[in-house]
Amino acid sequence: MQTNPATGPVPLDVQLLWLPEAMPGNLFAAIDVLNTAAGILHLRNPHGAPPLTWRVLTPPGVEEPLNAGAMARTQQPSVRALPPQRTLIIVPGLSARNAPHLGDIVAQHPQALALLQDHTMRGGLLAACFTGIALPARLGLLNGLRCAPPWAYQSWMKLQFPDCDFDTDEAMSFHATLFTCVAPALQTEFIAALLGRLLDPDLMHACLQVLGYQQRRQQITADLAGAWLTPTADSPVYRATQWLQTNLEQPYNLQVLAEAAATSERTLLRHFRQAVGMTPLEYLHKLRVERAKVMMEVSLHNFHTIASACGYADAGSFRRLFHQATGMNPSVYRQRFTLRARRPHWKVEQKSQRALA
């Protein structure tokens, strides 16, 4: 990651290479991540210049995609040209019937090869997904670098590009200026990982939280309580965890908890530690911290209100517990991971939209 202490992340411009044989879903998956990342960055710094910009790149002689007009409304082209070292070109997968056909596709696009060659010669960043790695391989950019080719094309690629090290099954590879991903289904994780490496690790975390399926967070945001471990529906430990999740705001009382679990306090403590790996009180603290994290991400409540909603009358004690669990103060956590604009910002945006109507 490159950052400037005074201004934050060093700007990054992403260019998505479009070819007639490009896999549209691969391209749009990258666009979804980039749009999400740009929105999160705007929420956290609504008045600053966007550190992440992107656009679709078409080589000379290649027509724009049919929905280029629709994509233009979501693109965020850079207002100033960034050096190649801060420009990332992403090559999507190519739709090929078989391995020889993939070779034919690459050979049919000398303009794209020349564009990538010039970009990398000037120190530019390059990422390729799935069969798209055939382009940098053809240019010799993968020589000596370890990366995984798509399994269906592996034998052909080993014959065509003997100087490449394809003897790995790692899904993604990250080298100094060149990055690869073996499967289109991993495009979301791949683009998020690139943003984490090249822009901000916190941004990768936030994108994956928003775009990935988070079962625990689905449950937390439904009723601000999450089910962490449920061994069996009729076990004392299960009844205890369910009671803690349902009564998260209540003061901790081991006797009441044991009664709810239909067992003795001593037995509950022994079984709970064996099954969950912690005491009921430690488990409750973790539940409360998780609730606080979600509330700070998606609400505008101050920390005193959040502490109260999490069962703590003393916000100072909960602040220390939160810091111990997350390694950061609540204010720092909210600044880094918030997914909600501050009230003055969205009020201004609403007023501006009405004025434009």
Which two three-digit tokens encode residue 90?
A: 């992403």
pLDDT-derived band of residue 82, with 50, 70 and 90 as boundaries? confident
Q: Of 165, 188, 211, which one is at a domain's C-terminal end?
A: 211
Same-domain check for residues 36 and 139: yes
115 neighbors 87 (Cβ within 8 angstroms): no
Q: Is residue 260 part of a domain?
A: yes
User: Does residue 192 share a domain with residue 256?
Assistant: no
Residues 6+ apart with CB under 8 A from 193: 172, 174, 204
CA atoms of 151 and 157, how far apart (whole Å): 10
- Percentage of the chain lying above the pLDDT 90 cut: 59
CATH number for the domain spanning 308: value is: 1.10.10.60
Give the pLDDT confidence score for residue 77 in this predicted structure. 63
Examine residue 190 and state whether it is found in any structural domain, yes or no.
yes
Average pLDDT over residues 256-285: 92
Listed residues 183, 211, 239: the one ending a domain: 211
In a shared domain, residues 74 and 94: yes
49 inside domain: yes
Note whether 237 and 206 are same-domain residues: no
pLDDT, tens digit (0-9, with 9 covering 90-100), for 7-46: 567 899 999 999 999 999 999 999 999 999 998 988 888 7
Retrieve residue 100's tokens. Answer: 């020889």
CATH, residue 42: 3.40.50.880
350 is a domain residue: no
Instruction: Please name the residue ranges forming H helices in 22-166.
Output: 24-44, 68-72, 99-107, 110-121, 134-138, 154-160
Which of the four pLDDT bands, split at 50, 70 and 90, describes residue 72?
low
Do 159 and 249 reside in the same domain of the chain?
no
Task: Tell whether 85 and 33 lie within a shared domain.
Answer: yes
- Chain segment 192-204, per-residue pLDDT in tens: 999 999 999 888 9
Q: Of 151, 185, 211, at which residue does a domain stop?
A: 211
Tell me the range of 4-13, 217-226, 315-324 where mean pLDDT is highest: 315-324
161 plus 291 within the same structural domain: no
Task: State whether 157 and 267 are in the same domain.
Answer: no
- pLDDT at 334 > cutoff 70: yes
CA distances from 52 to 3, 111, 257 (A): 13, 26, 50
Instruction: Write down the pLDDT at residue 75.
Output: 59
The mean pLDDT value of the chain amounts to 85
Query: For the chain, how many structural domains are there in total?
Result: 2
Instruction: Tell me the mean pLDDT in the region 199-211.
Output: 89
pLDDT for res 342: 67
Q: pLDDT at position 74, please? A: 57
User: In this structure, are 123 and 151 located in the same domain?
Assistant: yes
pLDDT in tens, 342-352: 665 545 455 55
Max distance between CA atoms of the chain, in angstroms, equals: 77
pTM over cut 0.75: no
Q: Which domain holds residue 317?
A: 215-337
For residue 87, being part of any structural domain is answered with: yes
Domain match, 238 and 186 both = no
Asked if residue 43 is part of any domain, the answer here is yes
pLDDT at site 230 = 46
As a three-state string, the secondary structure of 227-257 is CCCCCCCCCHHHHHHHHHHHCCCCCCCHHHH
Q: How long is the chain?
A: 357
Asked if residue 353 belongs to a domain, the reply is: no
87-91 and 178-181 strand pairing: unpaired
Instruction: Give the side-chain half-sphere CA count within 13 A for 126.
Output: 24
Residues 87 and 160 in one domain: yes
Q: Does 13 reside within a domain?
A: yes
Q: Are residues 37 and 116 in the same domain?
A: yes
